[in-house]
Structure 1
Amino acid sequence: MMALFFFLFFLFMVVYAVLINYYHSAWSQLPEFVLPEKQPSVFISVIIAARNEEQHIPTLLQSLHDQQYPKHLYEVIIIDDHSTDNTAMLLQDLHFDGLQLKALALKDYVEERSAIGSYKKKAIETGINAAAGQLIVTTDADCRFNPHWLQSIAACYEANNAKFIAAPVTFYNQSTLLSVFQTLDFLTLQGITAASVYKRFHSMCNGANLAYEKSAFYEVGGFNNIDNIASGDDMLLMHKIFKQYPSKVFYLKNRWAIVTTEPAHNWKQFFHQRIRWASKADSYDDKRIFWVLLLVYLLNVCFLAGAIASFWNATWLLMVLLLLLAKVLIEFPFVNSVAIFFGQQKLMKYFPFLQPLHIGYTITAGWLGKFGHYEWKGRRIKK
């Protein structure tokens, strides 16, 4: 039995090493997008679903107002998702010269207790139905943007005749252990996202920074057949569009395109967020990412099992420590290269020491994402 476990553990590590090397190579090959001299001219509709975001709305609107993209070429549509704070009032009272702002209330379309799977998808769909733009850009209410954010997205769209664009996301406010841990974890995910999209290896993205053609959204039926899933307004939609236009899905690797978002405030909120992300794993139509996630999960379970077994046999402890070192050496060059792009290389000194925490959270979030429940924005969602 012990020999079999050793073999499987080692096998998972070898396959994982090959996978991470593949991602690293793809990330390095992906060129940074250089904006052409020709100014883009596509009309953009920025869609934001907001629930209880009163503390973020003023900064959000200011950041959108400060975009260098011509004011007559973009609009902002914010859909209030049954907020219980002053979000709706702020959307009505705040005004910024030149900013085309539409504020919609989801309660006018869907009641709070309606039996729908995802209020966020319904809010985004409501916004798209009201949108005048040819290009839909989605983000979150707690995000901040480079002044050239929309310009870079529009330029990528026009240069590639894109149907779907995944773009970079990171965290601001890296002053606590939790925020540093989240940032490093997210850097890994962003590198994998860019690599997988570039190589058409599997579908992956983040809803805080997406763009897709409005006509493509309708052509694939929007959120139909995935609207019963609480999460997945990003990756599940992406794969629907990818199946229709496999050569027209891109990752925008450009520093101007980076969106910064707020990390979870506490460990409970963090775990609920990650459980929410993990909850859609068995709903992926793209089975390629399912096998990647399964490999990662099984490898982490092996680390936990080996650590538990080490209480009875010191050989297990030696094996776990050696393979943990191998894991760090495998991942570090890849994550470091991504950190350089995001200007967060200074955080890499913490990377080796946070490995045990990362293993524990991966196992816990993966298990509860499949069999548990989570809370998000004051709503309790069961699997």
Structure 2
Amino acid sequence: MEGFLTGYFTLWFLVLATSTLLFWVRRRPAPAPLAAPLPPVSILIAARNEEAAIARCLAAIRQLSYPPELVEVLLGDDASTDQTRAVAEQAMQGYKGRFRCLTITETLGSARGKANVLAHLARVATSEFFFITDADIAVPAGWIQALLPFARPEVGTVTGLTVVHGPRLFDRLQGLDWLQSLGLVQVVSDLGRPVTAMGNNMLVTRAAYEATGGYEQLPFSVTEDFELFRAVLARGFTFRNVYRPEALAFSLPIGTPRRLLHQRRRWLRGVEALPWWLQSGLIFYAMFYPLLLVLAWVAGPLAALSVLGIKIALQGLLAYGCYRRAGLRMPWHLLPAFELYTVALTLGLAVFRLLPVSFDWKGRLYQ
């Protein structure tokens, strides 16, 4: 048993150290200048009961440095029961670009929920570039210029960078979780292996979207961004991930641990559709804490604490690289609390996954 544990933790640390090194040393070329004349773009936002968040989202849209006369903003009101539409229309009064708010009542093909809203918006969009974000996201001023240069004819999706931002400890732990996870995704993506796209900060070209038949032709999924990403790749397009400060958007945090579990349960649907080698890697990664308990029982608490200390140090180096590349300040003091957060979230999600209960997202239940 001791030999097995030694081999596991040695390999675990080797993988993490290699990932950290690759993230630090990989040189990613700066985007080429945008060609003149600048093209028009469409921004697609699905909103359901977002009266508390939509004004912040649209205020960020209004601050974009891209010429507003080249921007159309399409907001899909997904059967909201609050004042989402009224708040949105008030927030966009006087906007120099084009703004439309569509009330979504019909279903297109197999699309449901957010996918159905985006299917409707894509049908009325007039440009060749669909910039997709969420109602709880504030995009940066240079968002369009950060993603658009990567949208070459062979590139179907371009994914930006998103971090959770909020004042509470719970909020900041979510931010550290997001940024570090996206750093690991970037490492794999830099090696040319597709992982996923992120539908709150994503560019999809019209050519790639229409090649899939649109959301109305895709199998329904609660992780609609991942389903579209897979379909775009299957049609022969490639992808780009942009881990740069100018592509960094800020998400509102999930308010409670219960809501966080529902969010992650939804994301787990996408994880369950990943290639076997990625799923195997995630299982290998997640076995750390169960085997750490075994190590404490076999070799004693001091050995387990030593291994945990090495983990915190290596993850800290990766996190520092992630924050540095995103143009943010590294919160070193969060690292011990982040271990407790990770354990609690992993255990909670494992139990939630096994229970025969539905999960709630935007007021709708999914199995």
1:381 is aligned with what amino acid?
A: Y
Equivalent residues of 1:152, 1:257 under 8 A apart:
yes
Name which of 280, 283, 286 aligns with 1:294: 283
Cα 1:9–1:362 shift into 2, 3 Å:
farther
- Counterparts in 2 of 1:1-383, with a 5 A limit? 3=1, 6-28=2-24, 29-31=26-28, 33-36=30-33, 38-39=35-36, 41-93=38-90, 94-107=92-105, 109-110=106-107, 118-158=112-152, 162-173=155-166, 175-223=167-215, 227-230=219-222, 232-245=223-236, 248-284=238-274, 286-303=275-292, 305-306=293-294, 313=297, 315-369=299-353, 371=355, 372-382=357-367
Distance 1:237 1:21 in 2: 32
CA drift of 1:46 comes to 0.9
CA drift of 1:56 comes to 1.9
Cα 1:42–1:197 shift into 2, 3 Å:
farther
Per-residue deviation, residues 329-378 of structure 1 (Å, max 9, x unmatched)? 33221111001122433412211342132123123224534655322222
Cα 1:50–1:9 shift into 2, 3 Å:
farther
Distance 2:300 2:263 in 1: 33
CA drift of 1:379 comes to 2.1
2:87 is aligned with what amino acid?
A: L
CA drift of 1:25 comes to 3.4
Equivalent residues of 2:320, 2:330 under 8 A apart:
no
Cα 1:193–1:205 shift into 2, 3 Å:
farther
Equivalent residues of 1:49, 1:78 under 8 A apart:
yes
1:24 is aligned with what amino acid?
A: T
Distance 2:217 2:302 in 1: 48
Equivalent residues of 2:116, 2:216 under 8 A apart:
no
Distance 2:314 2:217 in 1: 38
CA drift of 1:251 comes to 1.2
Per the normalisation by structure 1, the TM-score is: 0.85
Distance 1:177 1:40 in 2: 45
Percent identity (aligned): 18
CA drift of 1:37 comes to 6.6
2:13 is aligned with what amino acid?
A: A
2:224 aligns to what SS in structure 1? coil
2:302 is aligned with what amino acid?
A: L
2:49 aligns to what SS in structure 1? coil
CA drift of 1:255 comes to 1.4
Equivalent residues of 1:301, 1:363 under 8 A apart:
no
Cα 1:300–1:137 shift into 2, 3 Å:
farther
Per the normalisation by structure 2, the TM-score is: 0.89
Cα 1:367–1:241 shift into 2, 3 Å:
farther
Equivalent residues of 2:128, 2:206 under 8 A apart:
yes
RMSD: 2.7
Distance 1:39 1:22 in 2: 41
Distance 2:57 2:363 in 1: 21
Cα 1:324–1:116 shift into 2, 3 Å:
farther
* Structure 2 stretches lacking a partner, 5+ long: none
Distance 1:240 1:214 in 2: 13
Distance 2:347 2:192 in 1: 27
Equivalent residues of 2:156, 2:208 under 8 A apart:
yes
Cα 1:223–1:316 shift into 2, 3 Å:
farther
Per-residue deviation, residues 21-76 of structure 1 (Å, max 9, x unmatched)? 34323323042524527456232111111011112222222211221111232211
Equivalent residues of 1:300, 1:362 under 8 A apart:
no
Give the number of aligned pairs. Answer: 364
Equivalent residues of 1:171, 1:263 under 8 A apart:
yes
2:155 aligns to what SS in structure 1? coil
Equivalent residues of 1:163, 1:213 under 8 A apart:
yes
* Structure 1 stretches lacking a partner, 5+ long: none
